[in-house]
Structure 1
């Protein structure tokens, strides 16, 4: 991680936790090396066995297989609908107060009507939908209405799943979900003292039954005991989450003596190590239950990228590109009018589609798609590199350029274009370095390995182009 990003994260966390920041148990530099060694030792132990795989630029570790829902999440083809913000459990790790009974929300978009949401899923070609909360069973009729709309109004198949603590999962409601077409149900057993009653009722009713829990360090002895039982009970997958700290749950996490890690969001060191320990234990004991570690490094990068990619094509120009992380990239050359005119002339002589480049009114700058890079002589011109992102909203903010999107149901959404990096001017070797990174759609750009060295100021844009590989840094 670059020094600039490190400082940005620390400063952001200091501001968010201003009142308690200095009293928080942050990972000390002298302890970071031990934490890295422990993580690497666990990963090495897991790697000795077949069936353990890294995916999503090395941010997600799983054994055997991922559930269809997790696959769609990694592909960015998924929408999570929070049907409510209320819950009947009081989990210490919950990141919010769970006292909001408001309308369903996804990515800040509010959907009062099930038909509106189904048409949104259809319009944006979303392949997977999950129902979350809060606790969805507290708004069960609403869940059924939205599930029915997704299954009946969307033109393409949609894989659906539901998150629950299981407390209200009666046989009648499980059968109703099955009849509505629910494909998968995920139980947070830690919310109900690791009881298996609801889970056992769901096996054989809902096609895929998954357990999804935070990796709680204090519960390692319990979870080690039950994972073999889960496999024999017919559970298809075990998903382990990293606990995230928020101003709401900070006090409860601090009371447990957890060590906090800096990053785009504050996370708990011990929970990552607990997740890896559970995977190691399962492999050493030949437990065939597929286990997936859903790290914050994965969630922060891949889940947001999917939403950006879905919207980018609706508002970008044809001569702009969408990066693997979902950002809109604009490349613009500028210089003497003659040099710019020569580039435009080259494009015309090669019968390049006019939509792939745009010459300014003054004819002193030209924006172009990255695929045209090999046709350009950069020797006497400068290059401006800029990025923006597309954000979907319920209404116009009038702070950014926008485009209205009408759904079949009559509801209108707005795609706004927000500037992320207004522009970096590059010359000479800097342009050559950028060309090596993006000019030919290189494999390291697409898989997030980051093999190409980038000089300043380009290091600051790596996360806009490619996924940062591996689990989060410890600091």
Structure 2
């Protein structure tokens, strides 16, 4: 089942409110033309040699290597710490107001002390941390304290990077960051009209230097000149983001006459085509600088899945599994009490770990982990599958069951379990295909038709492959 923008029209209308009708939405004729142009550019990219690759369910095309931080992001092993909510630039594309020096935080959590954040990173087995803002250099001492604590606690096992517009960067600050163990620095040169002075300053001091910017459609020709300079000065990576429309930047996007595309969030059509054009340009002109297109669809799926997966692993029961997309999967054989008793005895005689299954109080269900699949006989039985989302909170909402996770003697967090609507009931004939598609060793992300009997499960099992459809 692919992302179909028409599914989100009403959702986007509510999000945009009174400005919806003033926005230039993608028409059907424009969609056909845009799809053709995108396919043409992608064909050019993947015809030019073996440097071009797809990753993460074909939502992230890139040339050359990805930054270690980008890999950790896609793998769900990354935490972004917003060290403040204050910025000294005025980028038209910024998705939120940055006017307050807030407490450092990530997701729904706040951390006054670096030690508490280091406890969180350790408890949730996080492998990569980034510092963002606002502009983190406005709280430079705070960044250094968190960096020093994380490096002391985790050694070299943690990959750490920082985002910055570079305005306040100096050589002395770069050397401090290097000496405290910063692995990578990422510059938004769009905030300084593509001035490369601070980027050039960082090369040779910080181990990896990246330029990470939205692909602004009006600046494509400028970027074609800039990529040559970045390559020549030894920049390691160029990351191009798709512009995302929010309540904060919407009016500015409307003024620029951008074309808006319906989806799980409102995206800008022209920015995707601009990013792919830059990627194709570097290949055509043999520019070795690796380019990564970070699409909104990639961020929507993989960043959310990463945090769900970390939470799920902390609270999963023995008979539950964690799906690729980070949901908890609970499977139960349904049958008579006699049939369930037979399956229970079968697992006992096979010497299976008793924590991996559980018989319901009414004796009409046997809940089991997928690792027990080979020991079960599904003949004449049905299979019920239920999915649970998890969310991490600073305080209990009391709307869902929760589990307390103590980070240290003074701080704890809570993981809530939210049962997703619509238990999937599989007939005996559907059990085999369910295993093949979602559990077996050859399972892979693939499009599914809405009418497919397993489409309801696919929503929680698979990533939807490909970039956003134009319709």
Smaller-chain TM-score range?
over 0.9
Deviation at 1:154, TM superposition (A): 2.9
Is 1:449 the counterpart of 2:427? The answer is no
Between 1:289-298 and 1:343-352, the stretch displaced more is 343-352
Q: How far is 1:428 from its partner?
A: 3.7
What SS does the aligned partner of 1:43 have? Answer: helix
Q: Is the 8 A contact 2:95 2:249 kept in 1?
A: yes
Residue 7 of structure 1: CA displacement? 5.3
Aligned residues of 2:164 and 2:186 also touching (Cα < 8 A): yes
CA contact (8 A) 2:22 2:254 kept: no
Residues 454-463 or 380-389, more deviating: 454-463
Return 456-465 or 255-264, whichever deviates more: 456-465
- Aligned residues of 1:339 and 1:380 also touching (Cα < 8 A): no
Instruction: Give the whole-Å Cα distance in 2 for the aligned partners of 1:171 and 1:336.
Output: 73
Maintained 8 Å contact 1:237/1:291: yes
User: 2:309 aligns to what?
Assistant: 309
Q: Deviation string for 1:270-303 (max 9, x for gaps)? A: 0000000000111111101111111111111111
Q: Tell me the equivalent position of 1:463.
A: 459
Whether the 8 Å contact between 1:245 and 1:265 is mirrored in structure 2 is yes
Which moved further from structure 2: 82-91 or 422-431?
422-431
* Residue 24 of structure 2: aligned partner: 25
Can you give the 5+ residue segments of structure 1 that lack an aligned partner in the other structure?
none
Cross-structure match for 1:84: 84
- 2:43 is the counterpart of 1:10: no
Q: For structure 2, which runs of at least 5 residues remain unmatched after alignment?
A: none
Q: Tell me the CA shift for residue 414 of structure 1.
A: 1.2
Residues 257-272 of structure 1 aligned to structure 2 (within 5 Å): 257-272=257-272
Following superposition, the deviation at residue 453 of structure 1 comes to 7.2
Question: TM-score under structure 1 normalisation?
Answer: 0.95
Match of 1:289 in 2: 289
What are the equivalent positions in structure 2 for 1:161-172 lying under 5 Å apart? 161-172=161-172
Aligned to 2:128: 128
State the Cα distance separating 1:176 from its structure 2 match.
Answer: 1.6
In structure 1, how many angstroms separate the alpha carbons of the residues matched to 2:412 and 2:174? 34
- Structure 1 pair 381/453, CA: closer, same or farther in 2 (3 Å)? farther
Displacement of 1:379: 4.1
- Partner of residue 326, structure 2: 326
Q: How does 1:46-195 map to 2 (within 5 A)?
A: 46-50=45-49, 51-154=51-154, 157-195=157-195
Deviation at 1:8, TM superposition (A): 4.5
Cα pair 1:165 1:188 within 8 Å, conserved: yes
Deviations 1:282-340 (A, max 9, x none): 11111011111111111111111111111212211111110111110011122222222
Shift of 1:459: 0.9
TM-score normalised by structure 2 residue count = 0.95
Give distance in 2, aligned partners of 1:402 and 1:126: 21
Shift in alpha-carbon separation, 1:7–1:330, aligned structure 2, 3 A: farther
1:313-392 aligned at under 5 Å gives the runs: 313-392=313-392
Cα deviation, residue 457, structure 1: 4.7
Higher alpha-carbon deviation: 6-15 or 230-239 = 6-15
Equivalent pair of 2:436/2:443 in contact (CA under 8 Å): no
Q: How far apart are 1:20 and its partner, in Å?
A: 1.7
What does residue 469 of structure 2 align with? 473
Q: Aligned-residue CA RMSD in angstroms? A: 1.8
Q: In structure 2, how many angstroms separate the alpha carbons of the residues matched to 1:460 and 1:22?
A: 33
Q: Which has the higher contact order (CA 8 A, sep 6+)?
A: 2
Q: Which residue number in structure 1 is paired with residue 420 of structure 2?
A: 420
Tell me: CA distance 1:305–1:246, structure 2 relative to 1, closer, same or farther (3 Å).
Answer: same
- Helix, strand or coil at the partner of 1:14: helix
The equivalent residue for 2:42 is 43
The residue matched to 1:66 in structure 2 has which SS?
coil
